[in-house]
Chain A
Amino acid sequence: MTIPPADFLLLSPELFLLVMACLVLVVEAFAGNALPRISYTLSQLTLLVAALFSSRLIGHPPAVLLGGTFVLDPMAALLKTCIFLVTAGAFAYARSYLTAQGPLRGEFYVLGLFGVLGMLVMVSAHSLLTVYLGLELLSLSLYAMVSFERDSAAASEAAMKYFVLGALASGMLLYGMSMIYGATGSLDLAVIADTVTAPGSENLILVFGLCFIVVGLAFKFGAVPFHMWIPDVYHGAPTAATLFIGSAPKIAAFAMAMRLLAEALGGLVTDWQGMLSILAVLSLAIGNVIAIAQTNLKRMLAYSTISHVGFLLLGILSGTTAGYSAAMFYAITYALTAIGGFGLIILLSRAGYEADRLDDFRGLNQRSPWFALVMLVLMFSLAGVPPTVGFYAKLSVLQAVIDVNMVWLALVAVFFSIIGAFYYIRIIKLMYFDAPESAEPLSVNADLRVVLSLNGILVLALGIFPGGLLGLCSRVLG
């Protein structure tokens, strides 16, 4: 198979990333000790250049490449750009953490870059095999990142759980894919879509396969009842890895759901709508309620993730373009807010000490009013209180759900977001109303300060002017 030269341009983000990831690996191996910052600098450069490449592709008309296994459409280009940027933010936070926790380990960035490559493949998948390929590339990188602290028992346990359950989920997904392949005779998503919608298609096997695909997806999202791994992995993994897992992969998971459910199996929308409703309601309920009982911020954010996944699924299950774009906006803004939340944990951590207990946030306002304010904005955004971006994410999802006459789902969602508000404002209570445990001012290095401030300002600015990103999300799907 020959690739037309023009296609290389459309593949430029992936190719560039692949080359650079290999390069960073080699550079780290040979020059890592002499130039401790080289891997980080190169990785950030890679991400930013790749973001530039893919952002220029947003206006490109949809094109299917590489023998029908790869698609580049505006949605893919936008999501890729967001993945690059969010990962760049995540790396910036991770650097402070890794520097503080011991000798610089450039492999973290290499693994991260390969993970990003996996996400890109998922986002642009146009065949069941490509979906699986991307997913595994991402997952394997994440397993390794979780177990990065090989001497930590908690991290190893988390990695083990993640790996075993992840393998199980991959198996489910593959099994479902094989059913779909059996029923439709093709791995190509477009062909599957045509076969599914064609009159007289054999429904039973398709729905059977769909079940397994939804299970696999739900696992990757962390939707209830396939959420068990999330709290343990978030908690056990080094914060830098948690930060990465909790952000960009959500965008990729959204893309995978779009490719599999909306594009390939769009003809079965009534079937997966019901399944997703159950997953969404359970995730909202269990995520929000159990988060209240947590005393560890990472675990709390883990359960909060689960509840946000519930909201995101609401957008997808509406089955309309408006719903998809709402879910997309939700995924992007959630990733943006979540990295900030974990970034604050990194901010408070010191060498050999993870500040991930809720009590570590006590009296933050007296130690650093500015970062307390940043955290306040992030928490209100997660709670969905205007004028932060989280509100518009919830608003657009609710709108999509009500538009398809599922007002009851919207009511369930808002009801649980009241419960959710409680544990977010509890953090604010700790920061503002309680006295600090230690009065020492924060010692923060400059670039963490800048990134966190930018992150907070962005969440607020997008909350005041959400029009641009919202418009972009609906345009790329339109």
Chain B
Amino acid sequence: MTGYPLLSLLVWLPIAGGVALLAMDALGNRGCRRTALLVSVVTFLLSLTLYTHFDVSTAAMQFQENVPWIRAFDANYHLGVDGISMPLILLTTFTTVLVVLAGWQVIQERTAQYMAAFLVMEGLMIGVFSALDAVLFYVFWEAMLIPMFLIIGVWGGPRRVYATIKFFLYTFFGSVFMLVALIYMYLKSGSFSILDFQVLPLTMTEQILIFLAFLVAFAVKVPMWPVHTWLPDAHVEAPTGGSVILAAIMLKIGGYGFLRFSLPITPDASHQLDWLIILMSLVAVVYIGFVALVQQDMKKLIAYSSIAHMGFVTLGIFLVFSLLDQHASGGSAAMGMQGGMVQMISHGFISGALFLCVGVLYDRVHSREISAYGGVVNTMPVFATFMVFFALANSGLPGTSGFVGEFMVILASFKANLWFSVLAATTLILGAAYTLWMVKRVIFGAVANDNVAALQDVNGREFVILASLALVVLAFGLWPAPLVEVMQASVNNLLAHVAISKLPPPETGIALLNTLQP
């Protein structure tokens, strides 16, 4: 524990930095970039103390801050993290540094606004992961849309307006129903605290309706089939930095929502409807895998690959009920859930890295079409090494972080149902197929055209970005223990929580008599 409000600092430092950048337009592009980098690096370093001071032995919320905020709603400014949210915060701060670096040369127009948007978004995303009050959570959750909306719309590709409005309306659509559910629970429990919601007894009908409201919100965010269609559009049109943040962090917010809201608040409905999520996840894994195979556009391909990989996350999370039913010990259930969470973090690194790789190519050739490339390895050997490495990680090569999560989920699904695992395992084939085929067409072969022949290999800045990501991917692949360790206590706690029904106990004869008394 630390003596100062660490989480508040992590939330507000980037936001303040972003606002300051807007005001300091006069600094010029250089000044703005440097300020943004400074702010993001300081935030990242601060967030590391979150890890070093984290107590892995408890599932309780840590680094808590709780002050009254809106008395009329009994809403508090309540922040705190546990093993589920802490890694995601680190992922956020780490990725933001890379994103600021990635926009260093490309963004020449309105640089201050660009950097400010990313910094503000960083603060808001950390807010989402650390809010323990439903109103606060919702405020961060919705506010996050605003900078992303602008990033895609202002700095995006040719169809950016369509893509960004679709993105905004899809996510807004999802979240308003969650708001109704949150208000309903507030009126039932008399508090907006998420921790109170988690212990609030709810009848089956209530749970199912609340579960569905959450499902709309989180499924759009993840995104799950069939509400995934905004993602390829948004990814393709977003600037590289926007794609990276979308893939690496924003999608994780959906998965986080399932873990923080759906499972603990509506365990019985989750149990009842887990087939639905598993079905949607498997469709994502198999069908979207095939869709990815036929893409002509690199960013679109990675976007579809993200959907398929996020299908793994939701699959791992919602396997717990069938595993708990079959194996009372809960060990394999924990594995599925942890697999899903590891997959989230790992996918954050890998998909971010792949988008950065595409960004490197795009900055030079200004095309995302696979057919515009070929033989890049001849002119950019260092870059090709990185790209191949990340592609292999994306297809789940053992020794990379991509393998760990997928393996855990497949193992858990094998214990739940043979067919689940058969379908889930197709991702190993499909993932390898679409990723490596893309790599083959882009990287290998003879030099395809003059553009490729003129390519310059990565510069120092790009090298640092890609190398740091490669190191992380490799490190978690070889030694995932630190990541699994911080999650352990929270996952076990969550499993114990969801195993207990929240339904009111059936009315006994005496209770029934009591209700009849005047």
Residues of A within 8 A of B (CB): 365, 369, 373, 376, 380, 385-387, 391-392, 395-396, 398-399, 402-403, 407, 410-411, 414-415, 417-418, 421-422, 425-426, 428-429, 432-433, 465-467, 470-471, 473-474
Contact = CB atoms under 8 A, between A and B. Distances in A.
B25 interface: yes
B173 interface: yes
Interface stretch (B66-74, B246-254, B472-480): B66-74
A398 B178 CA distance: 12
Given A402-B187, A418-B169, 14 more contacts: A385-B172, A391-B142, A402-B184, A410-B183, A425-B149, A426-B165, A428-B149, A428-B150, A428-B153, A432-B150, A433-B160, A466-B72, A470-B73, A474-B72
Interface string B141-177: 0110110011001100000110011001100110011
Given A369-B22, A386-B142, A407 B179 contact: no
Contacts of B73: 395-396, 399, 470
Contact of A403 (B72, B142, B143, B187): B187
Contact of A429 (B70, B113, B165, B173): B165
B135 interface: yes
B161 A414 contact: no
A428 B146 CA distance: 10
A434 B177 CA distance: 32
Contacts of A392: 70
B429 interface: no
28 contacts: A369-B25, A380-B146, A385-B146, A386-B143, A387-B143, A395-B183, A396-B72, A396-B73, A398-B183, A399-B73, A399-B186, A402-B184, A402-B187, A414-B176, A414-B180, A415-B176, A421-B168, A429-B161, A429-B165, A432-B150, A432-B153, A433-B164, A465-B69, A466-B70, A466-B72, A470-B70, A471-B71, A471-B72
What's the interface size class on B, roughly?
Answer: 35 or more
B197 to A, nearest CB: 15
A391 B187 contact: no
B179 A395 contact: yes
Contacts of B172: 385, 418, 421
A136 to B, nearest CB: 35
A398 B187 contact: no
Contacts of A402: 180, 183-184, 187
Contacts of B184: 402, 407
Nearest to B150: A432
A403 B184 CA distance: 8
A425 B165 contact: yes
A471 B73 CA distance: 9
Contacts, number: 97
A471 B169 CA distance: 32
Contacts of A417: 176
A365 B154 CA distance: 10
Interface of B: 22, 25, 68-73, 110, 113, 135, 138-139, 142-143, 145-146, 149-150, 153-154, 160-161, 164-165, 168-169, 172-173, 176-177, 179-180, 183-184, 186-187
Nearest to B72: A470
In the A-B complex, the 4 residue pairs with the smallest Cβ-Cβ separation, listed nearest first, are: A470-B72, A414-B176, A386-B139, A467-B70
A422 B164 CA distance: 11
Contacts of B183: 395, 398-399, 402, 410
A410 B180 contact: yes
B142 A369 contact: no
Contacts of B173: 418
A386 to B, nearest CB: 4
Given A386-B139, A402-B187, A467 B69 contact: yes
A398 B179 contact: yes
A425 B186 CA distance: 30
A387 B22 CA distance: 18
Nearest to B138: A386
Contacts of B150: 428, 432
Contacts of B139: 386-387, 391
A396 B165 CA distance: 27
Contacts of B142: 385-386, 391
Contacts of A433: 153-154, 160-161, 164
A288 to B, nearest CB: 13
